[in-house]
Amino acid sequence: MSSRTKARKRALDVIYGADLRERSLTEALAEEELRATSYPERAGSWAYAREIVAGVDAHLDELDAVIEAHTNGWPLDRMPPVDRALIRIGAWEILHNDEVPDGVAIAEAVEAASQLSTDESGAFVNGVLSAIARGR
């Protein structure tokens, strides 16, 4: 597993956890930052995970508006929390991280959704993120 894939997983954990606990991403990021200092062997994946979470936090309203514009009336609060977090990560990478090709952002999110969420989640995540990439 690549360090960026591990970083996306760590970012997913933070974003998903904050969503479930109804906590701000800023608060969840600060808590994870403290935890990260206790595990220096995981430092390789932390820098990009932090960048993802901070980026999603900084652009959350914009990301959510773009996501809802591409879900054909499927509101964010009806999505499984894992799907919502993965789509936010993928949308941030597509719209705000030029270092990651759109296809990579989409493929990583789809793979994670297929492993971690419902049977339909991979296709749903693919459709939403592909539409966002086409519309940029």
Q: What is the average pLDDT score of the chain?
A: 94
pLDDT tens-place string over residues 42-52: 667 789 999 99
Helix, strand, or coil here: 118?
coil
Listed in sequence order, the residues at least 6 apart from 24 whose beta carbon sits closer than 8 Å to its beta carbon are 18, 57
Is residue 48 within 8 A of residue 7, CB to CB? The reply is: yes
Note whether 87 and 79 are within 8 A (CB).
yes
Q: What is the CA radius of gyration of the chain?
A: 14
What is the mean predicted confidence (pLDDT) over 18-27?
A: 96
Report the SS3 class of residue 9: helix
Ordered by start, the domain boundaries in the chain are 3-135
Instruction: Look at the domain 3-135 and name its fold.
Output: N-utilizing Substance Protein B Homolog; Chain A (1.10.940)
pLDDT 10s digits, 75-121 = 999 999 999 999 999 999 999 999 999 999 999 999 999 999 999 99
Residue 26 to residue 30: CA distance in whole angstroms: 6
Residue 85: closest CA among 17, 5, 6, 2: 17
pLDDT for res 33: 86
